[in-house]
């Protein structure tokens, strides 16, 4: 009898070891299957052990991260249907969400699926970058357009050093992303923690294309003259020591406004001809006086 109990105990231990090994292999498989997009195999695996969907790999990423990075919409829908809602924006070891993974790997279908499922787009990872910041830095312009098409995406979210997506676009001369941002509510008048505006970021980087994009895109922005006047929502002054965006400028012959401009016949600002006097235009007609507008017909 004693011998039978000993054999039974050995068999039980052997069974537990086998189960642990199978569980470990399944844990590896769930990430591989999610990465590959094998929905059928993943469904069978999860049916045996539903808790596998809550596993994390060595980097802290879950199956949903891998499915999003692989561009597998059907897996995203399957996994999210079995997990709590908060897992839709769960973070890996670097603070990255499944949406971060999808953006980093340029997976538009994953981005759209996650956003349609109400993933949170305004989460900063450990590098203080949101998915929108990430799309701009990788020059994934279609993803920038996709993200800002959802009203819950904050186009003015401050990341590292308080830099907004607009500032980031200016700093790397991503003028296509800048144009999209400005049309979607991105502001040029925000300051980062260093006190800089987007125009400073463009000037420091020598981002001439972005400097040209800014004024063209900033239509329908009212400005005023006199004390407390503002342009693009940024106060500016006239006379000696005047500044715009914190950059000194002067008036008269040889004057400069961030970049050189001239007055008189053939004058130009940012390389674009303009005129003075009645009917003058700066890119498009503008007016002076109360309620005046600049770059607005």
Express each pLDDT in 182-199 by its tens digit: 999 998 888 899 988 888
In the chain, the percentage of residues whose pLDDT exceeds 70 is 61
Whether the Cβ atoms of residue 125 and residue 89 lie closer than 8 Å to each other: no
Range of weakest confidence among 18-22, 112-116, 155-159, 190-194? 18-22
Residue 249: phi, psi to the nearest 5? -145, 160
Count of residues making up the chain: 297
Which H or E element spans position 247?
strand 247-248
Q: What confidence tier does 120 reach under pLDDT thresholds 50, 70, 90?
A: very high
What is the predicted pLDDT for the residue at 292?
A: 43
User: pLDDT tens digits for 256-271?
Assistant: 333 333 344 544 444 4
List of domains in the chain: 1-119 (1.25.40.20), 219-297 (no CATH)
Which H or E element spans position 216?
helix 208-217
Residues with Cβ within 8 Å of 284's Cβ and at least 6 positions away in sequence, in order, are: 219, 295, 296, 297
């Amino acid at each position: 009898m004693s011998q039978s109990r000993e054999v039974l105990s050995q068999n039980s231990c052997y069974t537990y070891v086998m189960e642990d090994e199978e569980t470990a292999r399944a844990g590896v498989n769930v990430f591989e299957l999610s990465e590959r997009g094998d929905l059928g195999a993943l469904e069978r695996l999860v049916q045996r052990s539903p808790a596998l969907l809550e596993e994390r790999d060595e980097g802290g990423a879950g199956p949903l991260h891998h499915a999003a990075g692989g561009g597998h919409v059907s897996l995203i829908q399957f996994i999210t249907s079995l997990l709590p809602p908060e897992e839709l924006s769960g973070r890996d070891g670097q603070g990255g969400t499944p949406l971060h993974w999808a953006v980093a790997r340029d997976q538009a279908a994953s981005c759209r699926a996650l956003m349609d499922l109400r993933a949170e787009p305004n989460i900063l990872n450990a590098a203080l970058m949101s998915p929108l910041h990430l799309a701009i830095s990788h020059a994934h312009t279609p993803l920038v357009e996709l993200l800002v098409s959802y009203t819950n995406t904050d186009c003015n979210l401050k990341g590292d050093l308080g830099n907004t997506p607009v500032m980031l676009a200016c700093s790397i001369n991503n003028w296509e992303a800048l144009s999209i941002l400005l049309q979607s509510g991105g502001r040029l008048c925000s300051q980062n923690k260093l006190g800089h505006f987007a125009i400073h970021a463009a000037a420091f980087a020598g981002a001439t294309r972005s400097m040209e994009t800014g004024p063209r895109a900033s239509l329908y922005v009212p400005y005023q003259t006199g004390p407390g006047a503002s342009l693009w929502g940024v106060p500016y002054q006239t006379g000696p020591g005047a500044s715009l965006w914190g950059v000194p400028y002067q008036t008269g012959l040889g004057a400069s406004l961030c970049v050189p401009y001239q007055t008189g016949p053939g004058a130009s600002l940012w390389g674009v001809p303009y005129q003075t006097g009645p009917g003058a235009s700066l890119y498009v007609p503008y007016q002076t006086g109360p309620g005046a507008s600049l770059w607005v017909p």
